[in-house]
Structure 1
Amino acid sequence: MTQPSSTEALIARLAAEPLPSTRFSPARMIATMAGTALLGLALQMALSGPRPDLAASLAAPVTLAKPLLPLMVLMLAWPMAVRLARPGARIGLWPLAVPAALALALAVWALVATPVDRLAHDWLGHSADTCVPAVLALSAAPLFAGVRLMRRGASTHPVLAGALIGLAAGAGAATGYALSCTEDSPLFYVFWYGAAIVLASVAGAVAGHKLLRW
């Protein structure tokens, strides 16, 4: 019978023990990332303010989807990342396919419903050049805080853990940014918000590869 390797035995032993409170606290990670995200949102509101017709605009389902879709991603990715702090933890990523599929369906619907002569206008809007940098800037602090706190854990999937932290940070930033953004076409927000969230995830994966290995 094949004996487990010393690494596998160590992982099994660590996974069976509770993580010391001095090393990693899921509640602390959640609170810290939430706090930094709220500070970023406060800065966004101070600089740009909410859109003047925010309440009325959210009555339209297509506009409501703009903050709701990234919020769904945030609520799914956050607990996944926290769970990966435990060695040997396994997670299913399939729930993330739900908001992704909804976003894709919205984009396809908009592509079909939008007149050809307006496609480029609705895709680029008037803020395509500032949207991605703004979302990435808002995601930087919670991403940094999340990776720093994850280092106190013992993740055996450092790249995935980092990517999920970046995904949560980027999605949270996009949710906040959507409250100021007046671009309501899914052609705009699915593409540009999606690009920013993907870039934040890549940044998190790189950080996880470099900082979360043990």
Structure 2
Amino acid sequence: MTSTDALIHGLSADLAPVRRRSVRRELAAVVGLAAAELALILMAGAMRPDMGSVILSPFMAWKIGGLALLAGVSGAVAIRSFAPPAASRRDLMFAFALAVLVMAAGVFVTSAAESGEPLLERLSPARGLRCAVAIVVLSLPLMSLLALLMRRAAPVHPKRSALATGLAAATCGALVFTVCCPANDPLYIVVWYSAGIAAVAATARWLLPRRFRL
């Protein structure tokens, strides 16, 4: 045995086997955690009281359907970016473009009565800030889980993966929050949900890559 072989053998002798990644298992873990948060909200009785009457309205279809689409796409982008050959830049651009399209679609579910109200009344800053904070709080456990999955993988571009992780966690958190959010104005949703999602994505982008520095 050569000295190089001996060195390699010495370095690898005590290594434990690594469990192979499973995208399905990772996605299931994220969905399971989001479902657990939803269950806790329902058990606490925090669901909006008129959910039964508004669930089939065009507004709720846009609100829940759009966020579900964004959460699914951004979650897939994040987990895909953890693998070395992933083209995360293109996937991220697609996710952000989709977010813009979903927000723009809110114009088609805005009623004439809502559009005629004063801007400050439509935005309702005090309530909007509470909604944004709630989205951040719901997103933190999901961001922690995705950060753990990212840490166990081998992302070639950790900054892009971190941004995708924040976007995925935030959109999942926002989707869970829709069951208790009483707001019906699309402008309110676009502004304050975007604020909460942007805060989580920015935090993930700033915080997570630090763990990959040599």
For normalisation by structure 1, the TM-score amounts to 0.79
Residue of structure 2 equivalent to 1:158: 158
Q: CA deviation at 1:128?
A: 1.3
Does 1:130 find its partner at 2:130?
yes
CA contact 1:41–1:138 (8 Å) conserved in 2: no
The answer to whether the aligner puts 1:49 opposite 2:31 as a matched pair is no
In the other structure, the counterpart of 1:193 is: 193
2:181 aligned partner: 181
Quote the Cα distance in structure 2 between the aligned partners of 1:153 and 1:213: 15
Q: 2:165, 2:201 within 8 Å by CA — same for their partners in 1?
A: yes
What letter corresponds to residue 131 of structure 1 in structure 2?
C
The 3 A distance-change label for structure 1 pair 115 and 161 is closer
Q: Which residue of 2 aligns with 1:69?
A: 66
Which aligned runs of 4 or more in structure 1 are off by greater than 4 angstroms? 107-113
Structure 2, gaps ≥5 residues long: 1-16
Alpha-carbon deviation of 1:121?
Answer: 1.4
Deviations 1:105-135 (A, max 9, x none): 4259849874554322121176213101111
C-alpha displacement at 1:60, in angstroms? 1.7
Partner of 1:101: 101
The worse-fitting range, judged by mean Cα deviation, of 123-132 and 53-62 is 123-132
| Cα distance between partner residues in 1 of 2:111 and 2:51 | 24
5+ long unaligned stretches in structure 1:
1-19
1:71 Cα deviation after fit: 1.1
Q: Which residue in 2 is equivalent to 1:89?
A: 86
Whole-Å separation in 1 of the counterparts to 2:86 and 2:115:
48
Considering only aligned residues, what root-mean-square deviation do their CA atoms show, in Å? 2.6
Q: Distance in 2 between matches of 1:48 and 1:156?
A: 43
| Deviations, residues 43-101 of structure 1 (Å, cap 9, x unaligned) | 32233522222132122212321122221111111111111112132142343213422
Contact 1:32 1:146 in 2 (8 A): no
